[in-house]
Structure 1
Amino acid sequence: MFCDRCGEDAAQGDHAACAAARELEPPRFCPQCRRRMKVQVVPTGWTASCVEHGTRTS
């Protein structure tokens, strides 16, 4: 598994800053494959799409 904000291995390093930032931001990387996701932010939320694993929404 990978960090969905920085894209690094979630098991290594400290991701406290990533977790804090994710409260306000959508994910940028797919947590399953580490691919950069296409993100769209709208007033009602966000959608993030990975070509391999589909779409996540807020």
Structure 2
Amino acid sequence: MSAVVEPPAADAGAAPFCAWCGGARAEGDHAACERRLATVDPPRHCPVCARRMVVQVDPVGWTARCSRHGESAGTNGFA
């Protein structure tokens, strides 16, 4: 079982891929993606390899698991 780790920072230098759309951070504008991630949506793609992650949302937060890079958890948008 993978250990729970904090998701990478949302700044452009933190990871090569966008955690919402899976696109390369160097290509295009990801401001809308960052707004979604900062409010209520959990990440859908691994920011390291851009693979789709298995995401589980519950009343207190979310967990997202990449088959290669493990699991992250958060409470974005949840109080």
Question: TM-score under structure 2 normalisation?
Answer: 0.72
Q: How many residues align?
A: 58
Aligned to 1:12: 27
Runs of 4+ off more than 6 Å:
none
Percent identity over paired residues = 53
Question: TM-score under structure 1 normalisation?
Answer: 0.96
Structure 1 unaligned regions, length at least 5 = none
1 CA distance for matches of 2:50 and 2:37?
A: 16
Letter in 2 for 1:18: C
User: Aligned-residue CA RMSD in angstroms?
Assistant: 0.5
Q: Deviations over 1:18-56 (max 9, x none)?
A: 011112100000011110000000101000000000000
**Alignment partner for residue 54 of structure 1, among 54, 66, 70?**
70
Larger radius of gyration: 2
Letter in 1 for 2:35: A
